[in-house]
Chains A and B, each alone.
Chain A
Amino acid sequence: MPGLVEATILLFRTQVARVWWSRRTLACLALAAAPPAMAWIIAHINTRVPPAGIATHLGWLLLVQIVTPLCALVCGSAVVTEEIEDRTITYLFSRPIPRAAVLLGRWLASLVVVSVVLGLSAWLTTAVARSSPVAGAPVDDRITVPLLAAVWIGGAVYSALFAAAGVIFRHPMIAGLAYAFAVEGFLANLPGRNQALTVQYYLRSVIAATGSPEWRHVEGFASSKFETLGAATTTLAVVLVVVLALASWRISRKEFVLSA
């Protein structure tokens, strides 16, 4: 009988080959196209913002705060839910594998999609911002690299959270949207330590710790106190592991009743 690692790899390999042609990936691509498109409009139509301003503002306010959680929600919530909706989970759950492998293998496949799509979006956004004819601070690696790090780390943590929601809730998309907007969107922008209850706070800490001074012009970066890079990444890693462990425990015990 395959163990957890072997079954996870098998499921990952199969799923990663299939997931590229799914409607959810197309939805992610559509969402991820928004920041570069906006960057182009600002750079070439509203020619008042310098390149670094376009990259940092769109990078944070649109890409990290909105597109990253939404892409992760679209892909992450489908990790288990898609098998339930397609009524194919029976085939996986009637095999002699640890059930957690279904969650982990499919989550890893969705993580690849989210990472590629968001990475592409971040790179394109900064590349398009560079083409702005306005004189001012340029887009350098200290803008691009922290932005890439934020979308990749954020994509991983959010997709794990929403994959877990797919195991726990009947309608994970609704629960995920409520979380993304009510908790992440609202709480992360309130002043005070309650920000530390959100993923956004730690992503902002990662950018603040590694980014260029240009990031300080973005709302929320100037006056707040942030975690160190080590503390922020460690906290997010712990959140990721704990969420996946809880979801694995839950999926091992939960019944998934399918209609005929």
Chain B
Amino acid sequence: MSAVVTARDLSRWYGPVVGLVDVSLTLESGIIGLLGPNGAGKSTLLKLVAGEIRPSRGAIEVLGRDPFANRAHFADTGFCPQQDALYGDMTGLAFVTFLLRLSGYSARDARERAGRALERVGLSDAMDRRTREYSRGMRQRTKIAQAIAHGPKFLIADEPLAGLDPVARRGIVELFRELQREGLALLVSSHVLHEIEELTREVVLLHRGRVLAQGDVQGIRALLSSHPRKVEFRVRDARRLARAVVEMPGVRGVRISADGTELGVETSDLDGFLGALPAIAAATRAGIQSLHTPDAGLEAVFDYLVG
């Protein structure tokens, strides 16, 4: 397979703020997931790939070209940006048609293609309404429609599933898979692991502007499950509950607050712990009032991975 994106020692900073540091990677055809917590550098990398900004250092090639302000690159790529912005005074159909005209299509072809693209994202009923009347999910789908309407070879989508309800998300995931089957290469970012998992097994992990890992999503899952996780309880009798949970497999430690009403548990087997918890709670009658897992997010996993 030929490389769609090749980056060498790619760095980008915004004044004193570092966006991306010494990123070298090669992305091939298919759907590639770009995964990382907020501020990891995903949008910066996508803007570099999309040709919206230049590298501060290093080089990037997309489909064999330098992407910045490159018209041939824009003819072959579609970009769905993260920002929730459209021309509010235009209908969805007029907006996509206008952008297709700028891609070189005649008025009639542009209108036809725009209609088809909006239909593919499930907006055929709303395409004649002004986009300012759209919900966030509809605007998101309009952004995707404008990115695929001109039939690009490569689609770059920055958090395309954000703001979508489950049905719409399922529709977009199906659409992306369909586009992949049609031969399109896709680079899709998200900070939510399961969103990316729904789409692809190939991921690039970014954290604090650096590539942390690249490869199969199963490996990420394995890292997740080996990551010790905290569970915090508000409980009537923390000591009684602590005595019971400390014997559970996978529990690495417990911490009880001074007033004896809060309990923190660190476990390397969160699923097993949560599965066994109802029986223990019933047996100890410790009076659990609430529980939460403060480090269940991707940020905590990344922090764990980078030490």
Interface residues of A (CB under 8 A from B): 1-2, 7, 10-11, 14, 18, 21, 86-88, 90-99, 252-253, 255-260
Question: Which of A86, A90, A95, A252 is within 8 Å of B81, CB to CB?
Answer: A90
Residues of A within 8 A of B87 (CB): 18, 86, 88
B103-162 residues with Cβ-Cβ distance < 8 A to A are: 103-104, 146
> Do A2 and B104 have beta carbons less than 8 Å apart?
yes
User: Residue on A with the closest CB to B143?
Assistant: A91
User: What is the minimal beta-carbon distance from B8 to any residue of chain A, in angstroms?
Assistant: 20
Question: Which of B69, B77, B82, B146 is within 8 Å of A93, CB to CB?
Answer: B69
A-B pair count, CB < 8 Å, reads 74
> Do B50 and A1 have beta carbons less than 8 Å apart?
no
> Do A87 and B69 have beta carbons less than 8 Å apart?
no
> Do B71 and A98 have beta carbons less than 8 Å apart?
yes
Provide the bound-state CA to CA distance between A91 and B103, in Å: 11
User: What is the minimal beta-carbon distance from B216 to any residue of chain A, in angstroms?
Assistant: 29
Residues of B within 8 A of A94 (CB): 50-52, 74, 77, 79
B2 located at the interface, meaning its Cβ lies under 8 Å from any Cβ of chain A in the complex? no
User: Known contacts being A18-B89, A88-B85, A90-B79, is A255 close to B102, with CB within 8 Å?
Assistant: no
Residues of B within 8 A of A95 (CB): 74, 99, 102-103
Residues of A within 8 A of B14 (CB): 257
> Do B52 and A93 have beta carbons less than 8 Å apart?
yes
Question: 15 A-B contacts, Cβ less than 8 Å apart?
Answer: A87-B81, A90-B85, A91-B99, A93-B69, A94-B50, A94-B52, A94-B74, A95-B74, A99-B69, A257-B53, A258-B81, A258-B83, A260-B43, A260-B82, A260-B83
Number of interface residues of B (CB under 8 A): 30
User: What is the minimal beta-carbon distance from B134 to any residue of chain A, in angstroms?
Assistant: 14
User: What is the minimal beta-carbon distance from A146 to any residue of chain B, in angstroms?
Assistant: 37
Question: Which of A1, A14, A253 is within 8 Å of B69, CB to CB?
Answer: A253
Provide the bound-state CA to CA distance between A252 and B51, in Å: 12
Provide the bound-state CA to CA distance between A18 and B77, in Å: 27
User: Known contacts being A88-B87, A90-B79, A257-B53, is A96 close to B69, with CB within 8 Å?
Assistant: no
User: What is the minimal beta-carbon distance from A111 to any residue of chain B, in angstroms?
Assistant: 20
> Do B85 and A97 have beta carbons less than 8 Å apart?
no
Question: Which of B43, B52, B90, B104 is within 8 Å of A96, CB to CB?
Answer: B104
Interface residues of B (CB under 8 A from A): 14, 43, 50-54, 68-69, 71-72, 74-75, 77, 79, 81-83, 85-87, 89-90, 98-99, 101-104, 146
User: Known contacts being A98-B71, A99-B69, A252-B69, is A10 close to B101, with CB within 8 Å?
Assistant: yes
> Do A7 and B69 have beta carbons less than 8 Å apart?
no
Residues of B within 8 A of A93 (CB): 52, 69
User: Residue on B with the closest CB to A102?
Assistant: B102
Residues of B within 8 A of A97 (CB): 71, 102
> Do A96 and B85 have beta carbons less than 8 Å apart?
no
Residues of B within 8 A of A255 (CB): 52-54, 68
> Do A90 and B102 have beta carbons less than 8 Å apart?
no
User: Residue on A with the closest CB to B87?
Assistant: A88
User: What is the minimal beta-carbon distance from A186 to any residue of chain B, in angstroms?
Assistant: 34
Provide the bound-state CA to CA distance between A162 and B294, in Å: 52
Residues of B within 8 A of A96 (CB): 71-72, 74-75, 102-104
Provide the bound-state CA to CA distance between A255 and B54, in Å: 7
User: Residue on B with the closest CB to A18?
Assistant: B89
Provide the bound-state CA to CA distance between A21 and B87, in Å: 13
User: What is the minimal beta-carbon distance from B36 to any residue of chain A, in angstroms?
Assistant: 14
Question: Which of B52, B77, B81, B98 is within 8 Å of A14, CB to CB?
Answer: B98
Provide the bound-state CA to CA distance between A87 and B82, in Å: 10
Residues of B within 8 A of A1 (CB): 71-72, 75, 103-104
